[in-house]
Structure formats: C-alpha cells, structure tokens
Structure 1
Amino acid sequence: MAPHKHEAMMQLYSMPSSGNSLKVRILLALTGKPVRIVDCEYGSAALAQAKADGALPYGKVPALVLDDGTTLGESNAILWFLAEGTDLVPSDAATRARMLGWMFWEQYNHEPIIAVRQALVSYPHRAADATPERLADLLDCGHALLQVMEDRLAAQDWLAGDRVSLADLCLYGYTCTAGSRGGFDMERFPAVCRWLDRIAALPGVLNA
C-alpha cells in the first residue's frame, strides 16, 4: 500500500474581532477548503510574531498563506482568490461588475465608518479618539450608509444579482455587528436585518 500523502493546507492569519477576517473565514466555511487558522487578536503575541516574521503582506490581518507558500493580503482580494470559479462570482459580466462595485464601496465608504465606530467603542487603545462629537458624526454617516443598503435590499434579496455573491459576504463582515458593537439603530433597517439572517443561515457561517 502506498504511503498516505500529506495534504498541504492553507494558513489564515485572522483577527477574531475583525470583520475583515470574519468574511474570509465565512468564505472558507462555505467552500469547505481546508485551512489552519492562526488567531492574531490585537495586542497578542501571535500578531507581533506574524509581523516580525513578515507573514503579513501589508502589515495587517487577514493574510492567507497558500500551500505553496504564496501569501495574499487584503480581505477582498483574498475573497476573490478563494471564490474564483464558484457560484459566488456571477458569470454575467454586468452582474459581476455590480458585485465588485459593492466590494469597492465596502472598503471605501462602509468600512471607514461602520467598522471605525465599532473599533472606537470596542478597543481600549482607540478610546482616546472616541470623542462624543466623532461618535455622533460616525453614527449619522453610518445610518446614511446603511440606508443605501436598505434601499437596495428592500427590492431584492441579495446585493448583486439573484443569489448570494461575494458582495454579500463582504458587506456582512462589519454589518452583522453594526448594532451590537457599533451602536447603530438596526431597527431602522428591516431589509438589512432580513438579509443578515439569510447570510447567517448559510452553512457554516455562524461557526466561522
């Protein structure tokens, strides 16, 4: 009998409290790809070691190390790599472009407001920046951004096309904790909440 061949496994440097890391873990759960996860919470020895080892291409998590040693950074780029060839990337060019539009919007508009407010109220090292004025401004801006999603999701179940895509996984990362960690009034956005429930019901999402 031939000896059992060891299967190489990808390694994900992931921050448990980060929505950017969460969306990669969700995609890995949905695709069933084997991965070894290294938890690198802010301030942890594991994060310091990963930086010292040069394991993080942009000096931050998430970072995905492929089985051949290639390392990828930036959460949305990692999503694209992992989902290529799956149903999570629309085959229609226009729908695919809309999906990418939401992903660009997430990093340029949504994340700098929704995620930043969560960080200011959650991480002790950000407390000095959490002035009442800034928190109030982020709250107003965040509600306006969530309304953009509400308007879209009131008309259809998913952000791009007629099925779940990378756009949904991408925006889920920080929207799912916008109320609990960011203090945003999610009752104002019933369509967004129904969308969050649809994503949470996908296999493996809640354990990611």
Structure 2
Amino acid sequence: MRLYSMPSSGNSYKIRLLLSLIGRRVEVIDCEDGSVALAQARAGGALPFGKVPVLELDDGRKLAESGAILWYLGEGTDFVPGDPALRAQMLGWMFWEQYNHEPVIAVRQALLNYPHRAAEATPARLDDLLHRGHALLQVMEEHLAGDDWLTGGPSLADICLYAYTHSAGTRGGFGMERFPAIGAWLRRIEALPGYKELSE
C-alpha cells in the first residue's frame, strides 16, 4: 500500500500513528503543502478529493478522508470495539472531531504556523477560535475526568482526537494547563506500544 501524507498535518498523522500502533508498514509519499510531490499527486489523479491523506491499496483503489482510512485500517484490530454501542460511540467522537474540534483547534494551529495562512490570522479570528477551542476541549476534559479513554479502551476515536489535541498548546496557543484529564490521556496514548510522534 502507498500513503500520500502531509508531514505537518494532523489528519495525515492520524493514519501514520495508527499504522505504527498496529505494526503495518506502507510506502509513504510526503506531500507537504506547496510541494512538487503534492502537485504531482494531484495531477496524476492520486488524490480523489484533491487533498491528502489518501491510502492507495495494493489493487490500485484509493481511499480518501482520514476517518474512512482509519476505519479501513482499524477493522479487525483492538482499536475498533467489538460492542456495537461502543463502536457507535467511537464513531460519534470521530464525527465530532471532524465537524467541531478540527475546524477550530486545527485551524488556529494552521493560522499560526503556515505562512500562507498568516493574512487570515486576524486578532479577532484568533480570539474567537481560542474561546471556541477552550469550550471544545472542556467537553473532552469532562469526559476524560471520568474515563481513561473516549470509548472504554484505546480506539480509533482516541487516535483521531489525539492528532490535533496533542499540539493544541504548542502550535495553537491553547491553555492546556487547565485540562489535566486531557494531559493524562495524552500521556496514556504516548505510552502505547508502537507510538510515534508527528515528526517521525
């Protein structure tokens, strides 16, 4: 298999992290924003929706969207709960990440770290994202204060939400010191066998 992945992107990191945790190796094509490799992947039809990550299977079929790729790779592993209700809860967190968490937590990180997004990083927008992000992180904090994991045990939901939450303080300027349960959860994920950092 071949993974088209943006090294600095949390959405791509989710896939690389799961692959490492389950011990599967794939060929990784680094497609950083603005790179020749990304342009070539788009021009060559490797990216169905024009963006990464994309997992190309051995038979040539291409899977797009991080949540769908996580589901494909996670099926049959311990990262997908056997209980149908737990699976549904896991998917609920994954949908929440893409529709609520990522558009705020990840966007503030992007505005602060990608030069081509700097013009969008107005004080008003950054303040709005900071306020909304803290409210979203509080949702996670309240859940994790009573449970070590998002769905009973380490699952795709934890991997999905780890990607942008672990860098919310360093890259996004969020006040993570106010979320001790999230901090403990991050450390539990980092202690899982096979864990790898964003930069690895």
Aligning the two structures, in what range does the TM-score lie when normalised by the shorter sequence?
A: over 0.9
2:50 corresponds in structure 1 to 59
Match of 1:133 among 97, 104, 124: 124
CA RMSD of aligned residues (A): 0.8
Aligned residue pairs, count = 198
Q: So what's the TM-score if we normalise by structure 1? A: 0.93
Q: So what's the TM-score if we normalise by structure 2? A: 0.97
Q: Looking at CA atoms only, which structure, 1 or 2, has the larger radius of gyration? A: 1
2:171 corresponds in structure 1 to 181
| Inter-partner Cα distance in structure 2 for 1:115 and 1:174 | 6
1:6 corresponds in structure 2 to none
CA contact (8 A) 2:150 2:158 kept: yes
1:144 corresponds in structure 2 to 135
User: How far off is 1:33 after superposition?
Assistant: 1.4
Match of 2:93 among 99, 102, 105: 102
User: How far off is 1:203 after superposition?
Assistant: 2.1
Task: Give deviations 1:174-205, integer Å, cap 9, x for gaps.
Answer: 00110010000100000001101111111222
2:77 corresponds in structure 1 to 86
| Inter-partner Cα distance in structure 2 for 1:197 and 1:19 | 17
Task: Give deviations 1:103-148, integer Å, cap 9, x for gaps.
Answer: 0000000000000000000001100100000000000000000000
1:196 corresponds in structure 2 to 186
CA contact (8 A) 2:22 2:194 kept: no
**After the TM superposition, which parts of structure 1 deviate over 2 Å for at least 4 consecutive aligned residues?**
none
| Inter-partner Cα distance in structure 2 for 1:174 and 1:49 | 27
CA contact (8 A) 2:7 2:32 kept: yes
Structure 2's unaligned 5+ residue stretches are none
Structure 1's unaligned 5+ residue stretches are 1-9
Give me the identity figure in percent. 70
